[in-house]
């Protein structure tokens, strides 16, 4: 009887030690990701994308029709959701947040708007526009050879390159995992401040690598190599994803920021390919002061490619 008790006690102690070790390891991993997220400066790439896009009219021109239609759609969606869902959610939040319910309901409605708008944009407006924009920026950053792995790129003379038809399978417009995860974590916003912060961090952690899906496709990575690349820059992707999501929650302007995040991701991919140890924060400061740096080449869309948009 005594020996059985000792064995049970030993197993319990072993389980406690294993639990403590697992908790310590996970806290350490989370701390490492958080540290890299802050120090890498990758969070600045979505902002750098804003400066790049507004300073390159030729990049804006192909996406202008989508911007106009997307803005109208966003206005209608946000207006409808705030009209019909804001006050009911304030009433529910009053039991949790008290007098802060009127404020706490705002990010919740914006989060719901993001789900609806994101679905409508990808279903009816975006098409392969994100990939076209990503490729165009890569070419302008001197990565024509990389882009040629996934589409036709022809020279128009001088430093002007023209993007042609895709030769790789277009990326999926929708990610079921992303949508389900986003919807399931949306109630975290019922918890003031802490809940919203965790919501952004968790979804940024999961969604960040998706901005380089086209890059991984052009590199020809299989699932294993793609995951290795993500793990190598896990904190950086988390930082990028958090800032991109924050920008996407801005009412109406989210359609514009969706494009600028794509541009920022392409600039980041070009820097990785060039093996440049670039501080994106300094790039943002330089762009704000002097405008974006001069590109290696100019890139345009062919008529055939535009018809696919």
Closest by Cα among 258, 216, 242 to 49:
258
Is 1 a member of any domain? no
Query: Are 40 and 239 within 8 A, CB to CB?
Result: yes
Q: What is the per-residue pLDDT for 108?
A: 83
- CA–CA–CA angle 168, 70, 185 (5° rounding): 80
CA distances for 237 relative to 15, 146, 242, angstroms: 34, 21, 9
Where does residue 127 fall: left (phi above 0), alpha (psi -120 to 50 degrees), or beta otherwise? left
Look at residue 179 and tell me if it is in a domain: yes
Pair of tokens at residue 90: 């304030």
Pairing of strands 298-301, 160-166: parallel
Overall domain count for the chain: 1
Within a domain: residue 33? no
Closest CA to 130 of 17, 213, 237: 213
- Supply the range of the domain harboring residue 51: 40-307
Distance CA(203)–CA(178), nearest Å, equals 8
pLDDT of residue 298: 59
Residue 2 lies in a domain: no
10 lies in some domain: no
Pick out the chain residues at pLDDT < 70: 1-34, 37-38, 157-159, 173-174, 276-279, 285, 287-309
The predicted structure's pLDDT at residue 40: 79
Domain contains 182: yes
Which has the closest alpha carbon to 56: 268, 260, 271, 269?
260
Please report whether residue 24 resides in a domain.
Answer: no
Residue 196's pLDDT is: 83
Q: What gap in Å lies between CA 69 and CA 72, rounded to an integer?
A: 5
Partner residues linked to 301 by β-bridges: 163
| Amino acid 256: pLDDT | 93
User: Is 7 within the bounds of a domain?
Assistant: no
Handedness of CA 215, 177, 121, 256 (dihedral sign): negative
Q: In terms of Cα–Cα distance, which of 274, 301, 250, 262 is closest to 114?
A: 250
Cα–Cα distance for residue pair 158/218, rounded to 1 Å: 25
Q: What does the pLDDT read at residue 226?
A: 95
């Amino acid at each position: 009887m005594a020996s059985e008790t000792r064995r049970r006690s030993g197993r319990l102690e072993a389980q406690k030690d294993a639990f403590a070790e697992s908790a310590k390891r996970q806290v350490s991993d989370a701390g490492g990701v958080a540290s890299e997220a802050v120090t890498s400066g990758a969070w600045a790439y979505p902002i750098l994308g804003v400066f790049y896009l507004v300073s390159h009219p030729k990049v804006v021109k192909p996406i202008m029709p989508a911007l106009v239609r997307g803005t109208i759609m966003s206005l209608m969606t946000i207006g409808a959701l705030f009209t019909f869902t804001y006050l009911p959610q304030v009433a529910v939040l009053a039991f949790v947040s008290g007098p802060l319910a009127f404020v706490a309901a705002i990010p919740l409605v914006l989060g719901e708007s993001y789900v609806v708008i994101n679905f409508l944009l990808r279903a009816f407006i975006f098409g392969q526009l994100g990939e076209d924009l990503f490729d165009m920026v890569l070419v302008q950053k001197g990565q024509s050879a990389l882009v040629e792995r996934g589409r036709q790129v022809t020279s128009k003379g001088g430093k002007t390159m023209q993007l042609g038809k895709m030769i790789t399978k277009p990326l999926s417009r929708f990610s079921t995992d992303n949508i389900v995860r986003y919807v399931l974590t949306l109630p975290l916003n019922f918890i003031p401040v802490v809940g919203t912060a965790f919501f952004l961090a968790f979804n940024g952690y999961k969604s960040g690598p998706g901005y380089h899906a086209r890059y991984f496709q052009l590199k020809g990575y299989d699932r294993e190599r793609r995951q290795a690349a993500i793990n190598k820059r896990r904190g950086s992707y988390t930082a990028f994803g958090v800032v991109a999501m924050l920008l996407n929650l801005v009412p109406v302007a989210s359609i514009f920021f969706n494009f600028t995040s794509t541009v920022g991701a392409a600039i980041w991919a070009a820097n990785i390919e060039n093996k440049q140890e670039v501080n994106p924060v300094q790039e943002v400061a330089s762009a704000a002061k002097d405008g974006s740096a001069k590109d290696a080449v100019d890139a345009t869309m062919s008529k055939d490619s535009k018809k696919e948009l």
